[in-house]
Chain A
Amino acid sequence: MQFRTLIASFLASFSLATSISAEPKTITAVARVLPAPSGIELPVLPEVNVEAFTKASITEPTRTHRSASLDSHYDISAFGLPCGANVSATLVRDTEYAIRISAPCRPHDGVALAISGLRFDVTLSLTGNAQFNLPILSNSAVLETVFSDHETHVTSLPEADVADSTRVAISWAGETGAELVARGHDVITIGNGPHRLQVLSINHMPGTRETIRLAIHRNVTSDSCDTPASAQFFQQTGAAHPTRYDLTFAPAGCARIGETLELKNILEDLKLALN
């Protein structure tokens, strides 16, 4: 599966590179053209049949000086794209943002993102890209993106109307084995790094009343049994002032490895359209 994804990203990058390169020059391996800058591990592709790509277009960098702002990076990526990082957010269906991170010179970089006091991590692809959808948490928010070299981008998210919805979000720090569970509703998980964000987003239906039970499930594993789990909690109903606080969970104890603990009383159930 990972291998297939790798190939797909690779091919996608080729097509992009092709479209912008004027005079493509064939190379045989990426690593030969661009020695790995410090702090970034360039991909080694032993599984890929390099010969199969020799006729494809990979641009050789036309400029080799280092960027003033990115002193550890070249201005052009291994795939011929400008190195400049970019984070964009587009409103989709009035319920979520399509987030696109592009940092061509940071393949596989671990990026820390923060929104409304909640953190999650995303690992960029081979080509330095990441795309994901992020449910709207509040009507106005900024997304802070911090690359591994501490370069920080602050993106103002488009204003959204959240008057008729409730959002509950928890960001988990580390391998906690814990997750937010909402009976009868899907909880979206965002992030593939150590910090993960879970979001439950409910649109209020006029004239209906519903109680949604929220619980936290903790899988007790050898990694998590003797360490506390920590998280940040966020909830906003309608346009009201959001509730935010930190949560820590005492270690479950290694005698309980293999068990799943259900904590039903920690989070408020959501009562929609009650009053």
Chain B
Amino acid sequence: MHLIRLFSASILTLLFTVVAALAQDVTLTSRDGTLSIEGTLLGYDGEFYRVETVYGPLTLDGEGVICTGPGCPDLAAYVAEVRLSGTPHMANRLLPALLIAFAEQRGLKVERQVTDDISSSFVMRDDERIRARFDLRATTTREAYADLIAEEADIALVLREPRADEEAMAASSGAGNLVQGRRARVVALDGIVAVTAADQPIPAISLPDLTRAFSDPTPNWSAFGGPDLPVTLHIPLHGSGLAEAFSDLLFGKDRVDFSPVATAHSSLETIVDLVADDPFALGLTTLSEVGNVAPLPISGACGYTQDATIAALRTEDYPLTLPLMLFTPARRLPLLAREFLEFTETQRADLVARRLGFVDQAITQSDFNDQGNRLAHAISAAGEEVTLADLQALTATLQGRTRLSTTFRFEDGSTRLDVPSRESAARLARALETGTFNGSDMLFVGFSDSAGAATGNEALSKRRARTVLTQVRDLALTANFDDIIMDTTGFGEVLPIACDDTDWGRAVNRRVEVWVK
């Protein structure tokens, strides 16, 4: 299906190019009349003309040229048309609320035109006329990438980064490199959670048990410390972004799939409502959609248990984080679409996300005294390699400082920041530019997992902290660094926040935190 669509798109592009060579429907002339170029209008976004010319496609600033010819748009009647497609997890709640808040902020009156339960248009107008129309369609993460590549969507609402096959499709169709540049914006975070009814059989579940519970052909509570009764599984539809993200995080390495006895549902509401009524059911949903059931904490073999809380998601200390992302194409979007994207990074958008139960990207601070659990765990995990002197040095450095929620993590086996961390770097850079941390002393503190020698890990953690600091400084072009003290240090494996017995645990422990005073 996707391939057919992409093929069609390529054919259309080819045909269009041929037609363009034949039909010269616009002439763009510079305001002083000295330069002009002819071609076929590919698009006008309210600001720029895109014209197919004998030199290839050109983009010209509308303010600098005068358009003549039958193809010229009516500048006074221009309506920004923006198509959004993607996961119902974002399309049903978050995007409508963001679009309405965006319109309100711009002083535009908004009308939501509902076609059916999955398609709506948000028509925004001022006193004079309609200014923009955002068409929103609930599909899936995979469908959204296909729509984006086939130019049937301008913004994709996705729960994961593009997979290799999607990147290949994009490259072959001319849609460009999907992972290059800042194409993904994390608008909010959510957590993948396993949920049980209030009178549930077990208090917590480990990641390996979670994998087994959802993949076992005959799951039984006795395997996880509960009674000898079968587990009734409720999961999101196969192919949904949530099911794919869960598979990527937990099933990928073991090459397993969801249990054949699991019942798939099209809505998370249905999953949590069924689980709420069945004490022996286990459901897969997100923290924002727990309805009236309870998320299971994630336990580790080393005794460390992590609750699915908003604070743990904000710092990405909870293992199953689900970034809600807006993915944009390489081509230029209409001005109002770009302004909407910028709006999603504002405090007002953060408030919308928070109201809906998502975790916003706002930078918050927690006191050193709130780190009791982590320090207790560090003390209990200390041994030959982590000494009392290491712990004392850590305490002496961090005491008196507060920890920012911004935490940086890295892609597997790489010094490249993962998508949420790249977003965090951009946000922290913006905060630096707006003077939020003027007069502050910021310390970038690196940590590592416990694989390998402690001395090597310490050096590695310091190197990661320096890498992150450099990236943030590079992004904060207009920040006044004369008024901010910035430094780095590293403590290796001294302060683990998860057990090191899983890939996830080690990945979470490899991090750079920011402490300010």
Interface set of A (CB-CB < 8 Å, partner B)? 209-211, 213, 233, 237, 243, 245-250, 262-266, 268-269, 271, 274-275
Q: How far is the CB of A133 from chain B (nearest CB, A)?
A: 29
A268–B112 alpha-carbon span in the complex (Å):
13
- Known contacts A263-B117, A275-B310; A245/B269 CB under 8 A: no
Which residues of A sit under 8 angstroms from B356, Cβ to Cβ? 268, 271
Q: In this assembly, does B435 line the interface, its C-beta being within 8 Å of a C-beta of chain A?
A: no
Which residues of A sit under 8 angstroms from B92, Cβ to Cβ? 265
Q: In this assembly, does B204 line the interface, its C-beta being within 8 Å of a C-beta of chain A?
A: no
Which residues of B sit under 8 angstroms from A245, Cβ to Cβ? 100, 103, 109-112
**Are A247 and B112 touching (Cβ within 8 A)?**
yes
A123–B310 alpha-carbon span in the complex (Å):
50
A265–B97 alpha-carbon span in the complex (Å):
12
Report the nearest B residue to A233, measured CB to CB: B112
Q: In this assembly, does B337 line the interface, its C-beta being within 8 Å of a C-beta of chain A?
A: no
Q: In this assembly, does B238 line the interface, its C-beta being within 8 Å of a C-beta of chain A?
A: no
A251–B63 alpha-carbon span in the complex (Å):
42
Apart from A248-B113, A265-B117, list 14 A-B contacts with CB within 8 A. Answer: A210-B292, A211-B292, A243-B101, A247-B112, A247-B114, A250-B113, A264-B269, A265-B88, A265-B138, A266-B117, A268-B93, A268-B96, A268-B97, A271-B357
Q: In this assembly, does B120 line the interface, its C-beta being within 8 Å of a C-beta of chain A?
A: yes
Q: How far is the CB of B314 from chain A (nearest CB, A)?
A: 12
A–B complex contacts, Cβ < 8 Å, 7 sampled: A210-B292, A243-B97, A245-B112, A247-B111, A250-B113, A264-B117, A265-B92
Q: In this assembly, does B228 line the interface, its C-beta being within 8 Å of a C-beta of chain A?
A: no
- Known contacts A245-B110, A247-B111, A265-B138; A237/B355 CB under 8 A: yes
**Are A250 and B111 touching (Cβ within 8 A)?**
no
- Tally of contacts, chain A with chain B, CB under 8 A: 64
Q: In this assembly, does B414 line the interface, its C-beta being within 8 Å of a C-beta of chain A?
A: no
Which residues of A sit under 8 angstroms from B88, Cβ to Cβ? 265
Q: In this assembly, does B201 line the interface, its C-beta being within 8 Å of a C-beta of chain A?
A: no
A117–B321 alpha-carbon span in the complex (Å):
40
**Are A246 and B111 touching (Cβ within 8 A)?**
yes
Which residues of A sit under 8 angstroms from B97, Cβ to Cβ? 243, 268
**Are A275 and B269 touching (Cβ within 8 A)?**
no
Report the nearest B residue to A274, measured CB to CB: B357
Which residues of A sit under 8 angstroms from B355, Cβ to Cβ? 237, 271, 275
Q: How far is the CB of B2 from chain A (nearest CB, A)?
A: 24
Report the nearest A residue to B120, measured CB to CB: A266
Q: In this assembly, does B62 line the interface, its C-beta being within 8 Å of a C-beta of chain A?
A: no
B residues 209-237 with Cβ under 8 Å of A? none
Would you list the 4 A-B pairs with minimal beta carbon distance, nearest first? A246-B111, A265-B92, A211-B291, A245-B110
Report the nearest B residue to A266, measured CB to CB: B114
B residues 105-119 with Cβ under 8 Å of A? 109-118
Which residues of A sit under 8 angstroms from B120, Cβ to Cβ? 266
Which residues of B sit under 8 angstroms from A211, Cβ to Cβ? 290-292
Which residues of B sit under 8 angstroms from A263, Cβ to Cβ? 114, 116-117
A233, A245, A264 interface centre (most CB from chain B within 10 Å): A245
**Are B357 and A246 touching (Cβ within 8 A)?**
no
Report the nearest A residue to B269, measured CB to CB: A213
A274–B269 alpha-carbon span in the complex (Å):
16
B residues 177-210 with Cβ under 8 Å of A? none
- Known contacts A265-B88, A265-B138; A250/B116 CB under 8 A: yes
Which residues of B sit under 8 angstroms from A247, Cβ to Cβ? 111-112, 114
Which residues of B sit under 8 angstroms from A243, Cβ to Cβ? 97, 100-101, 104
Report the nearest A residue to B276, measured CB to CB: A211
Q: How far is the CB of B111 from chain A (nearest CB, A)?
A: 4
Q: How far is the CB of A129 from chain B (nearest CB, A)?
A: 36
A263–B101 alpha-carbon span in the complex (Å):
22
**Are A248 and B93 touching (Cβ within 8 A)?**
no
Which residues of A sit under 8 angstroms from B310, Cβ to Cβ? 275
Q: In this assembly, does B354 line the interface, its C-beta being within 8 Å of a C-beta of chain A?
A: yes
